[in-house]
A and B are shown apart, each in its own frame.
Chain A
């Protein structure tokens, strides 16, 4: 017997058999569900677009440490997107993989929420967006760990450990800026005020997701709202910040109605693979 072989339980091996070379085989534990592809695009696009946004900070953040943090969070998000979009391509079964879905889809076909595509603004706005997104995503992934669709469950179980860091780090910065100087406090208030209008969309349910909730695949987003509100109030209280005024909520991302900003982001992100479609390293 080899001295350094790790222990692999039979059930782990059974799970391992479903993945080969980083890509997935067709589902086996759950019957193919027509809404699954769209749902995976929603999950993957949220991560992809915010990951791309965060990389814009690379080399520009106020201090080296937070520059590294934002780049690392972006990296985690792009990693999540790779898994979700590869799985989406597998489920669609039309010859598209994660790269194809990320780089060769037009703006109307993206299914991310509007919050993630908004420009970075100043540092406080970026922190406000991250805090609201990661707090929501943490609750969502904690729920998806129990999904009936085993491949979604294992991606969520992997990512949830990382998202916990994102939520903690951004909450700490909300407190630091809110309870900081007059200038940082005002900017944090403005940042939260601006992004607050995009919060409702993250908890929106439609028929597509309701079907998936009934099949035990998705999480009912409305059930996550209470915990989200409690956590936000807790952090804002510690940051000595007021709760944002409730503006009219803006939605539409899940059905492809995006703000102008997404097209500009995609132009930057997709330029290279579209100019040289068959380029490889």
Chain B
């Protein structure tokens, strides 16, 4: 994998910074980290900084996420590492890692499809209930408790659940 880390960041520091970021959890879905969600876009040298991108334009968690990353970096002795917001390319649910998907599912949130074909078709394929695994599910509301989730219901186990929207 290609990185943009410059000389100011040797491999050891990159490992340690990424390990710190792996522990920074999303404020609204506290089981997935900022690296699981793909909102950490990488590290950039000169000046050394973490590149982050917002999920949704108006996501109110963006500021909280930046503050959490700042706190984690400072606590781990990386006070010299900055944080930069990047908009382009725009965030996509395709960047959520496999570990992130599994953590979402275990938390009761149906993860978005991970393959490019599903993303292109708008994620219209069948959605598995995160509780019982049934595909007998229906959309209740396209907007859920946060901008990134829709409200669904399983017609087999009758439980409502959040689905991470394909984006």
List residues of chain A with CB under 8 Å of any chain B CB.
Answer: 1-2, 4-10, 12-13, 15-17, 19-22, 51, 64-66, 68-69, 72-73, 75-80, 82-83, 154-155, 157-159, 161-162, 165, 168-169
Contact = CB atoms under 8 A, between A and B. Distances in A.
A165 B3 contact: no
Interface stretch (B73-81, B84-92, B102-110, B130-138): B84-92
Contact of A69 (B4, B11, B88, B143): B143
Which 4 A-B residue pairings sit nearest by Cβ, starting from the closest?
A79-B58, A79-B57, A65-B141, A69-B143
B58 A12 contact: no
A6 B95 contact: yes
Given A2-B11, A15-B86, A19-B85, 5 more contacts: A51-B58, A65-B141, A79-B59, A82-B58, A158-B88
A231 to B, nearest CB: 17
B3 A8 contact: yes
A1 B54 CA distance: 25
Contact of B143 (A13, A51, A158, A169): A169
Interface in B1-45: 1-5, 11, 14-15, 18, 22, 35, 38, 40-44
A76 B2 contact: no
A19 B84 contact: yes
Interface of B: 1-5, 11, 14-15, 18, 22, 35, 38, 40-44, 51, 54, 56-60, 66, 82-91, 95, 97, 140-147, 151, 167
A4 B57 contact: no
A19 B53 CA distance: 11
A65 B44 contact: no
Contacts of B167: 161
A157 B1 contact: no
A116 to B, nearest CB: 16
A159 B141 CA distance: 21
A159 B55 CA distance: 11
Given A7-B1, A79-B58, A68 B144 contact: yes
A165 B95 CA distance: 20
B162 to A, nearest CB: 11
8 contacts: A2-B14, A20-B84, A21-B85, A65-B141, A65-B143, A73-B143, A154-B88, A162-B57
A199 B96 CA distance: 39
Contacts of A7: 1-3, 42
Given A6-B42, A76-B58, A80-B58, A165 B84 contact: no
